[in-house]
Amino acid sequence: MNPLGARINAMFASDIGHWDVPDFREVLPEAWELVEHGLVDEAGFRQFAFENVVRLFGGTNAKFFEGTVVAVEAARVLTGR
């Protein structure tokens, strides 16, 4: 727990194409281990892997995700629904 309950809007990032990632299909399952090990709950993982990114890019350009496969869900995050 952070002091005073402060939240850090961390975001998932990976250099999937880096030489030391022998199988890029393992990157997300490795990240999911945060949930499996009880370090974050599913809602926290969703924030980490999706919502915080949507707020970063969509917060300055609400149309950023238009035309993408995540457009509908990104709009829900940005409108608070």
Q: Is the pTM of this model over 0.85?
A: no
Q: Which band of pLDDT confidence, cut at 50, 70 and 90, is reported for residue 6?
A: confident
Domain boundaries, the chain: 3-79
Q: What would the DSSP string read from start to end of 12-38?
A: ----TTSTT-S-GGGHHHHHHHHHHTT
pLDDT in tens, 14-69: 888 888 888 889 998 999 999 999 999 999 999 999 999 999 999 999 999 999 99
Distance CA 24, CA 31 (A): 12
**42, 35 in Cβ contact below 8 A?**
yes
Q: What is the pLDDT of residue 18?
A: 84
